[in-house]
Chains A and B, each alone.
Chain A
Amino acid sequence: MSLETIEPPRSRTRRRGVNWEKWGWLYMRFSGVLLVVLIFGHLLVNLFLGEGVKAIDFAFVAGKLADPFWIVWDTLLLWLALIHGANGMRTLTNDYARGKLRVILLVALAGATIVLLVLGTLVLTTFDPCIGDATTDALIEVCS
């Protein structure tokens, strides 16, 4: 009955299949680093430079989205940020909600995330900068 008779495990216990929690954990860190760059860039251009928030209207954003650079930037922002945020909210839901409420919240979270990813991607990929009045030089050049 001595404790020494209990054998230590010879190898790490391993569950079958993909370790989703590990990949989720890694995703939060790698997307986090990219999001620091993408979001600070987004805030710099939209809230800090020039007239800041006062300058934002259709022409301002359409002028940006007429350039593929910003379409790529905003698409990366959409996917990385929304999945990062949704995964964070999943963590909080698992921590603070129990039973049926937890399942309802997780389903709602997944539903909202998928709908917004599809909506946002469609907006960015099918955007037409010429549906409004071309009031800036950049838009006049693109839309004439």
Chain B
Amino acid sequence: MSSQAARSGAATAVTIRAPKRPAGTLYRGREGMWSWVLHRITGTAIFFFLLVHILDTALIRIDADAYTQVIGTYKTPIMGLGELALVAAIGLHALNGLRIIAIDFFSWGTKYQRVMFWIVIVLWILLMVGFTPRHLMHVFGGE
């Protein structure tokens, strides 16, 4: 009895150091959090582009030459690189969106959310490998 008390007394004396970084929280860190962060950033960027894109396209109803002139700015080098970033954002948002749908609607979804994140990244890289050279040739390739 006395030895038991002594043992538990010793146990309480053990100091547990607080972790330097928060750890073990379900949604903090790792693939789950970063996919969530990327989804918000890409979604916001796409939204603001969409606002501008609806306005510039609306010009086509009013003046043919003005429309051609404004859409011509889409062919400049800086905007060309911007379109690359836009397609990258849309590709990631779309693929990760499908991952979110799989997590929400299928019983196996949550279990495989991490591996699905890496599948998203691989498919996204393949998408960009297919799109980037062709788009850069269109923008920088002259006539």
Contact = CB atoms under 8 A, between A and B. Distances in A.
Interface residues of A, number: 40
Interface stretch (B3-11, B12-20, B22-30, B72-80): B72-80
Interface stretch (A9-17, A48-56, A99-107): A48-56
B51 A116 contact: yes
A123 B58 contact: yes
Interface in A105-141: 112, 116, 119-120, 122-123, 126-128, 131-133
A57 B54 contact: no
A122 B71 CA distance: 20
Given A61-B67, A85-B50, A116-B51, A92 B40 contact: yes
Given A29-B101, A29-B104, A36-B97, A53 B138 contact: yes
A47 B85 CA distance: 13
A36 B98 contact: yes
A116 B61 contact: no
Contacts of A36: 94, 97-98
B74 A92 contact: no
A58 interface: yes
A124 to B, nearest CB: 9
A43 interface: yes
B68 interface: yes
A85 B47 contact: yes
B138 A54 contact: yes
Interface residues of B, number: 38
Contacts of A61: 57, 60, 67, 71
Interface string B73-91: 0110000100100010010
B21 interface: no
Interface of A: 29, 32-33, 35-36, 39-40, 43, 47-48, 51-54, 56-58, 61-62, 65, 78, 81-82, 85-86, 88-89, 92, 112, 116, 119-120, 122-123, 126-128, 131-133
25 contacts: A29-B100, A32-B94, A32-B97, A33-B101, A36-B97, A39-B90, A43-B90, A47-B83, A48-B135, A53-B75, A56-B71, A58-B65, A61-B71, A65-B60, A82-B50, A85-B46, A85-B47, A116-B54, A119-B54, A123-B57, A123-B61, A126-B61, A128-B61, A132-B68, A133-B64
Q: Which 4 A-B pairs have the closest CB atoms?
A: A132-B64, A52-B138, A85-B47, A58-B64
Given A54-B138, A127-B61, 6 more contacts: A29-B105, A36-B94, A86-B47, A112-B51, A120-B54, A127-B60
